[in-house]
Amino acid sequence: MTQPVSNLRVRRTQKLLREALIELIEERGFEALTIGEMTERAMVSRAAFYRNYQDKYDLVEQIFEEAMSALLNAVGDLGLEHPPEIWVTFFEHIAQYERLYRALLGRKGSPWFVRKMRA
């Protein structure tokens, strides 16, 4: 079954913006990056950005929520009776999202994101 073209475009746009966000955090830091830089790097319009996200904080929050949802689903499938497997799943998740976590939690990362994680 194929997906509608518009849905594929939305997913492609979101993927490009997410990749651009991580690259720019690594290069310039979260606080210094702008929507204009992200859209230019992703080769999408500002309008496309704002159709998907309110601002850069919304983009980061959505990425993080998706990562956490994936982790909780993977761990939840195991149940509490399998502690070793839970740790394996947790570290596999960290490895899968390593670049994201390094970018957001590193020295050029987002203090806003760190505060949000602690809350």
Topology (CATH level 3) of domain 5-118: Tetracycline Repressor; domain 2 (1.10.357)
Q: State pTM to two decimals.
A: 0.80
The residue-averaged pLDDT of 68-75 equals 84
**83: pLDDT confidence band, cut at 50, 70 and 90?**
confident
Residue 44 is predicted with a pLDDT of 97
What are the boundaries of each domain within the chain? 5-118
- State how far the Cα of 43 lies from the Cα of 118, in Å rounded to an integer: 34
Residue 4 is predicted with a pLDDT of 60
Task: Answer whether residue 104 shows pLDDT above 90.
Answer: no
3 state DSSP class of 64: helix
Residue 87 amino acid letter: W
